[in-house]
Amino acid sequence: MKIALVADSLACLPNEIVEKYGIKVVPANLLFEGKIYKDGINLTANQAYSFIEKNPETFSTSAPSPGDFLVAYRGLIDNDAKEILYIGLTSKLSATWNSARMAKEQIKSESPEVKIEVIDSTFAGPGEAILISTAIQKIEKGKSLNEIANLVESLKRKVQVLFVLETIRYLHRSGRFPESATKIASLLPFKSVLKFSEGKLALFGISGSKEGGVEKILNFLKASWDQNTSEVWLTHADCENEAQSFKEKISNIYPSAKIFITEFSPILGYVTGRGTLGIGFYSK
């Protein structure tokens, strides 16, 4: 494409989209028992979840470094890219966006003719993915880098991202919820529904069951979704059958909806727990 795209692994983009559009995906890091793994490179989601269950105290995560983004940018420049767009993970929960920004400054001195836009999506997972998908559509229509960057900055205010959790016990890892509170809450017989708000996860509601949590999200979708945008992005943390069931429920209500299903990055699963279901869409 005329404008090259960079994403981080927490956008959870489908491989077919990554390959079709030549998107450079910068992986986050996972550390387990002293060994460093690259998200989606030398570690599968199933392996990561087994590590978490085996020994959660030695499992940790870290953001990509500026050097990781430099490798991505330089690779695109070597392939004659003159304009690069990165739409990334919320800066409120990770240093990833800052790493991308620092690498951009380095490229300015190395290759001043190359223009790079670095955008904080204020989301993770499906929130990043839907903005990247919109950018792809605008690139294909010949829009300029400035036009697309401005549009994404405007549209991210319309993005809604919600998750229903199997358990709330791990949520303290997001840095927003105290560990003592999540431990107590995990003993109670309800499921939590979370929503991204101003770049961070916040409690949206609770339900007596996971199915009830899905219904709560569906009701919010029906009240809020801008159907003119057509796309809905679903993601799951090792519960694909539930994601497919979620998709069917949406399709039954909106047969013309274009629904994508992606697998949660295990780094997100580390924060929210296995069994999480998520959704991203544009509101009216």
Helix (H, G, I), strand (E, B), or coil: what is residue 215? helix
Confidence of residue 127 (pLDDT cuts 50, 70, 90): very high
Query: What pTM did the predictor assign?
Result: 0.94
**Environment class of residue 236 by beta-carbon count within 10 Å: exposed (0-12), middle (13-18) or buried (19+)?**
buried
Q: What is the mean pLDDT of the chain?
A: 93
Give residue 160's Cα distance to chain centre.
12
Specify the pLDDT at position 252.
Answer: 97
Q: Where exactly are the structural domains of the chain?
A: 4-28+63-155, 159-282
Sign, CA dihedral 209-237-266-151, equals negative
Specify the pLDDT at position 176.
Answer: 65
Topology given in CATH for the domain delimited by 159-282? Hypothetical Protein Tm841; Chain: A;domain 3 (3.30.1180)
Closest to 125 in 3D by CA, of 194, 190, 74: 194
Sign, CA dihedral 28-30-31-37, equals negative
Question: When comparing pLDDT for 151 and 51, which is higher?
Answer: 151
Give mean pLDDT, residues 72-87: 97
In sequence order, what are the residues at sequence separation of 6 or more whose Cβ sits closer than 8 angstroms to the Cβ of residue 31?
Answer: 37, 58, 59, 60, 61, 62
pLDDT above 90 for 253: yes
Give residue 145's Cα distance to chain centre.
22
In sequence order, what are the residues at sequence separation of 6 or more whose Cβ sits closer than 8 angstroms to the Cβ of residue 155?
Answer: 131, 134, 282
pLDDT tens column, 153-187: 999 999 999 999 998 877 777 776 777 767 777 77
Highest mean pLDDT range out of 35-49, 223-237, 262-276? 223-237
- Residues of the chain above pLDDT 90, percent: 76
User: In whole angstroms, how far apart are CA 56 and each of 48, 140, 271?
Assistant: 10, 44, 11
Of the options 3.20.20.70, 3.60.15.10, 3.20.20.10, 3.40.50.10440, the CATH number for the domain spanning 4-28+63-155? 3.40.50.10440
How far apart (Å, rounded) are the C-alpha atoms in residues 30 and 166?
Answer: 22
Specify the pLDDT at position 50.
Answer: 85
Give mean pLDDT, residues 53-78: 91
Helix (H, G, I), strand (E, B), or coil: what is residue 230? coil
Give mean pLDDT, residues 93-102: 96
pLDDT tens column, 208-234: 999 999 999 999 999 999 999 999 999
pLDDT above 90 for 7: yes
Specify the pLDDT at position 186.
Answer: 73
- Is residue 282 within 8 Å of 160, Cβ to Cβ? yes
Q: Which two tokens stand for residue 100?
A: 């991308």
pLDDT above 80 for 188: no
